Homo-oligomer: A and B are copies of this chain.
Amino acid sequence: MSQSAHTSFLAANEEYVARGGGQPPSLSAVPVKKLAIVTCMDARLNVFAQLGLKEGDAHIIRNAGGMARDAIRSIIISQRMLDTREIAVFRHTLCGMQTFTSAQLRERIREADPGNPALDVVNHTDFLEFTDLEASVKEDVQFLQNHPLVLPETTITGWVYEVETGRIRQIV
């Protein structure tokens, strides 16, 4: 087993506090920019730094791929309970979600553990992989625009982050 990464958290967190981290007491749970970002869990995405955000600015929802379909519970709460009115959806280049299909992942799990009691759940799980990056951004923006539980007055944009250069570009 690899060394446990969590053992570095406390010392690093002390440094954050010593640098003056922690929140101005005025910051509530309502994002200052009324913004929710949906993006991938990918380790190379440092969302705050890459978009110039600071503590308090925006909800950051992250999952495998940055898929809006897997973020609806969070988006409803973000809008209805915490007043956000803008959503920015991101994909990124060289995403792991472009390297497999749900069928292949199901097969991998089945082969590793043929007696797993959850194989039936796996067989009915859409892992939401995609092939075309820009098409996937557009689909997600459209999905949100048409979703009956996303507020109609929401500003929705779609973006790609380029892992190779650190640059973003707007698609929608």
Contacts and interface: CB of A to CB of B under 8 A. Distances in A.
Interface of A: 1-2, 4-6, 8-13, 15-17, 21-23, 25, 27, 29-36, 41-46, 48-64, 70-71, 73-74, 76-78, 80-82, 85-86, 88, 94-97, 99-100, 105, 108-109, 112, 116-118, 121-122, 125, 127-128, 147-149, 153, 155, 157, 159, 163-168, 170
Given A21-B49, A49-B21, A54-B46, A78 B41 contact: yes
Given A31-B43, A34-B5, A80-B109, A168 B51 contact: no
Contacts of A56: 43-44
A105 B77 contact: yes
A91 to B, nearest CB: 13
A25 B62 CA distance: 23
A57 to B, nearest CB: 6
Given A10-B170, A29-B44, 20 more contacts: A13-B50, A16-B51, A16-B166, A29-B96, A31-B43, A32-B43, A43-B58, A44-B55, A48-B49, A61-B64, A62-B63, A64-B73, A64-B74, A73-B127, A76-B125, A77-B97, A80-B108, A81-B108, A118-B147, A121-B149
A18 to B, nearest CB: 9
A61 B41 contact: yes
